[in-house]
Amino acid sequence: MALKNEYLKKNYEELSARYAEQKEFIQAVREFLESVEPLIDEHPEYEKAGIIERIVEPERAILFRVSWVDDNGKVQVNRGYRVQFNSAIGPYKGGLRLHPTVNLSVIKFLGFEQIFKNSLTGLPMGGGKGGSDFDPKGKSDNEIMRFCQSFMTELAKHIGPDTDVPAGDIGVGAREIGFLFGQYKRLQNEWTGTLTGKGLSYGGSLARTQATGYGLCYLANEMLHANGMDFKGMRAVISGSGNVATYANQKATQLGAKVVAMSDSNGYIVDENGIDFNVIKEIKEVKRARIKTYLDYVPSAKYVEGCSGIWTVPCDIAMPCATQNELDIEGAKALLANGVKAVAEGANMPTTLEATQAFLEAGIPFAPAKAANAGGVATSGLEMSQNSMRLSWSFDEVDEKLHGIMVNIYKNISDAAEKVGKPGNLVVGANVAGFIKVADAMLAQGIAY
93 binds, among ligand 2IT, ligand NDP, none (CB under 5 to 8 A by kind): ligand 2IT
Q: Between 208 and 235, name the residue whose CB sits nearer to ligand 2IT.
A: 208
Q: Report CA-CA distances (Å) from 200 to 197, 323, 351.
A: 9, 27, 34
CB contact set of 97 (below 8 Å; sequence gap of 6+): 106, 107, 110, 129, 130, 131, 132, 169, 170, 171, 172
Q: Between 167 and 360, name the residue whose CB sits nearer to ligand 2IT.
A: 167
The reply on whether position 144 binds ligand NDP by CB under 6 A is: no
Give 186-252 as a DSSP string: HHHTS----SSS--GGGTPPTTHHHHHHHHHHHHHHHHHHHTT--STT-EEEEE--SHHHHHHHHHH
Beta bridge partners of 343: 318, 366
111 binds, among ligand 2IT, ligand NDP, none (CB under 5 to 8 A by kind): none
What residues from 317 to 336 belong to the interface with ligand NDP (CB under 6 A)? 321-323, 326
Q: How far apart are CA 320 and CA 376, in angstroms?
A: 16
Let me know: does 349 contact 369? Beta carbons within 8 Å. Answer: yes
Q: How far apart are CA 274 and CA 348, in angstroms?
A: 25
Q: Between 216 and 234, name the residue whose CB sits nearer to ligand 2IT.
A: 216
The reply on whether position 347 binds ligand NDP by CB under 6 A is: yes
Residue of closest CB approach to ligand NDP: 242
Among 90, 126, 128, 171, binds ligand NDP (CB under 6 A): 171
Where does 271-394 have alpha helices with state H? Answer: 277-281, 294-297, 329-337, 353-361, 369-372, 374-389
CB contact set of 42 (below 8 Å; sequence gap of 6+): none
CA angle at residue 103 from 101 to 108, to 5 degrees? 120
Integer Rg of the chain from CA:
21
What residues from 66 to 125 belong to the interface with ligand NDP (CB under 6 A)? 99, 101
Among 52, 165, 207, 244, binds ligand NDP (CB under 6 A): 244
Residue positions annotated with a catalytic role = 129
- Amino acid identity for residue 25 in this structure: F
The interface region with ligand NDP, picked from 14-22, 56-64, 198-206, 259-267 by CB under 6 A, is 259-267
Best CA proximity match to 93, nearest among 28, 150, 159, 148: 159
The reply on whether position 373 binds ligand NDP by CB under 6 A is: yes
Q: Between 167 and 252, name the residue whose CB sits nearer to ligand 2IT.
A: 167
The reply on whether position 242 binds ligand NDP by CB under 6 A is: yes
Let me know: does 118 contact 127? Beta carbons within 8 Å. Answer: yes
Q: Between 197 and 420, name the residue whose CB sits nearer to ligand 2IT.
A: 197
What residues from 177 to 236 belong to the interface with ligand NDP (CB under 6 A)? 212
Q: Between 146 and 284, name the residue whose CB sits nearer to ligand NDP.
A: 284
CB of 196 to ligand 2IT, least distance (A): 5
Q: How far apart are CA 266 and CA 286, in angstroms?
A: 19
101 binds, among ligand 2IT, ligand NDP, none (CB under 5 to 8 A by kind): ligand NDP
CB of 233 to ligand NDP, least distance (A): 26
- Chain positions contacting ligand 2IT, by CB under 6 A: 93-95, 114, 117, 167, 169, 196, 348, 376-377, 380
Residues in contact with ligand NDP by the rule CB under 6 A: 99, 101, 168-171, 173, 212, 240-245, 264-266, 307, 321-323, 326, 346-348, 373, 376
